[in-house]
Amino acid sequence: MAKLFVTYEDIHRHCLKIATDIRADGWEPEVIVAIASGGFIPARILKTFLKKNIYVVGLQRYDDDHAARPVPLKIQWIDEVEKKLAGKRILLVDEVDDTRVTLAFCLSELFRHHPAEIRVAVLHQKRKPKEAAFPPGVTVYQAVEIDDVWIKYPWDALDIDAHNLGQE
């Protein structure tokens, strides 16, 4: 499978594009929810542009043998979630919309707490059939749309210089 090596500079530019698109829509989130672990860094950069607090949820889609779970496992959730999310405009952030299973699961869990609205932001939108659907009316902000390639994010690199040169 082809690989796409993404740099921290790429991610920063992608987050700027997403923040610009959000502002162009005239929409302002009240909170950012990051899906761990791929959503951590994009959410933190978006905080710089949008000036909103971040909450983190931890979901595990794959087990230790890299086998996909049919339903993601909650490993971390928001304390006093009802108080923090009810009636709020939420920006849900992850690094990639690949199969959509994790994002759709997280949306369904967050909607149970009666937010005013949830929109999704991803750095990369993969052009491929999705295994799950978003509820009607959910807006998705994406920095770039890409083919179904293996994305190598810099936070997974052991040697950042080699990574930035497109090497393992």
Q: State the maximum Cα–Cα separation within the chain, in Å, rounded to a whole number.
A: 46
Confidence (pLDDT) at 1: 86
Is 161 catalytic? The answer is no
Q: Tokens 């936070």 belong to which residue?
A: 155
Q: What is the pLDDT along the chain (168 residues), one digit of tens a residue?
A: 899 999 999 999 999 999 999 999 999 999 999 998 899 999 999 999 999 999 988 776 666 666 777 777 666 666 666 678 999 999 999 999 999 999 999 999 999 999 999 999 999 999 999 999 999 999 999 999 999 999 999 999 999 999 999 998
Residue 61 carries which side chain, given as an amino acid letter? R
Out of 79, 94, 98, 156, the active site residue is: 98
Sorted by sequence, the CB contacts under 8 Å of residue 136 that are 6+ apart come out as: none
Domains of the chain: 3-161 (3.40.50.2020)
β 117-126/89-97 pair status? parallel
Q: pTM for the complete prediction?
A: 0.90
Confidence (pLDDT) at 67: 72
Q: Tokens 């302002």 belong to which residue?
A: 28
**Dist. CA 86–CA 109, nearest whole Å:** 12
**Dist. CA 103–CA 120, nearest whole Å:** 8
**Dist. CA 83–CA 93, nearest whole Å:** 20
99 and 71 in contact (C-beta within 8 Å)? Answer: no
